[in-house]
């Protein structure tokens, strides 16, 4: 079945791979990105040449999101799938990130998702269908040193997704979370670093630990070809292909072992959530209503 998909952050990383995969499978794609006529011109032109509708959208700007969604609807009709892929990572000692650093990070990784949803959901609720895929992270389930603000933003996205799932279920709208591990993509090249370098330096020798950790992890990725970022694009395409009601709420994607460990955590939380909702008599909100 062919779908109309709106994909944020389509210029690089998982986004570009996902865009190419969806086009290969015959879907109608709205590929959104910042600066398609500027720094992302090459990616925009390549996707447009393959049939994607490329639209400038900055998920941190209300007007840009509203205008971008309106353009998408004018071009291809209301999308029936949204993939929230736009995001940024961090590397550094948590204390050295300023409050403004965290505001910028959350504006992209969390508030941007909410902005796009608010632009799409009224039409979806009216027609009583839609699929939302939120790209989280295994670091949205557990913490690792030197990624603290990113951990926090993705944990918040997990909570946002949980609530969208329950509150939209009566309207036939499905919500899915994809939780990738670490992969070698352009994402690593654009990690946000702390603004307060002096605060980081006050940690002494430990100030160098974040960069050392990243270098080690890149060596691990280079030695593990199975950790191929195409796996993430394939996982999102697979969710779209599934029939309503068959899609898992959470999907981990990882070949390094952490994904398998997190799956047990996810199952335990699912059981806890189901039991809690049953106690409150609202477990029906965990099942998307059809028709």
pTM: 0.97
Whole-angstrom distance, CA of residue 100 vs CA of residue 171:
37
Residue (of 261, 255, 256) closest to 231 by Cα position: 255
- List, by residue number, the catalytic residues: 150
CA atoms within 13 A of residue 40's CA, in its CB half-sphere: 22
Quick one: 4-286 is in which CATH superfamily?
Answer: NAD(P)-binding Rossmann-like Domain (3.40.50.720)
Cα torsion through 119, 120, 124, 125, rounded to 10: -30
Four-residue CA torsion sign, 254, 255, 256, 259: positive
Residue by residue, pLDDT tens for the chain (291 residues) are 999 999 999 999 999 999 999 999 999 999 999 999 999 999 999 999 999 999 999 999 999 999 999 999 999 999 999 999 999 999 999 999 999 999 999 999 999 999 999 999 999 999 999 999 999 999 999 999 999 999 999 999 999 999 999 999 999 999 999 999 999 877 788 899 999 999 999 999 999 999 999 999 999 999 999 999 999 999 999 999 999 999 999 999 999 999 999 999 999 999 999 999 999 999 999 999 986
């Amino acid at each position: 079945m062919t779908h109309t998909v709106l994909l944020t952050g389509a210029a690089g990383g998982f986004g570009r791979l996902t865009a190419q995969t969806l086009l290969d499978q015959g879907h109608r794609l709205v590929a959104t990105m910042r600066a398609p006529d500027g720094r992302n011109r090459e990616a925009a032109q390549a996707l447009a040449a393959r049939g994607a509708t490329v639209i400038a959208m900055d998920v941190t700007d209300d007007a840009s999101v509203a205008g971008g969604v309106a353009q998408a609807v004018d071009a291809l009709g209301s999308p029936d799938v949204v993939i929230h892929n736009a995001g940024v990572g961090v590397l550094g000692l948590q204390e050295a990130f300023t409050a403004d650093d965290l505001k910028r990070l959350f504006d992209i990784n969390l508030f941007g998702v909410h902005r796009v949803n608010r632009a799409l959901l009224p039409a979806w609720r009216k027609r009583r269908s839609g699929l939302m895929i939120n790209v989280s992270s295994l670091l949205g389930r557990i913490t690792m040193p030197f990624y603290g603000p990113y951990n926090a933003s993705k944990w918040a996205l997990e909570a946002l997704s949980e609530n969208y799932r329950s509150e939209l279920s009566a309207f036939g709208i499905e919500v899915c979370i994809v939780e990738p591990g670490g992969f070698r993509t352009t994402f690593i090249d654009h990690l946000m670093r702390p603004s307060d370098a002096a605060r980081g330096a006050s940690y002494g020798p430990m100030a160098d630990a974040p960069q050392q950790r990243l270098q080690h992890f890149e060596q691990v990725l280079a030695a593990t070809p199975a950790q191929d970022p195409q796996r993430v694009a394939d996982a999102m395409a697979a969710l779209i292909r599934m029939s309503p009601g068959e899609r898992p709420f959470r999907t981990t994607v990882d070949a390094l072992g952490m994904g398998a460990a997190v799956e047990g955590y996810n199952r335990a939380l699912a059981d806890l959530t189901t039991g809690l909702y049953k106690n409150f008599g609202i477990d029906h909100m965990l099942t998307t209503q059809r028709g």
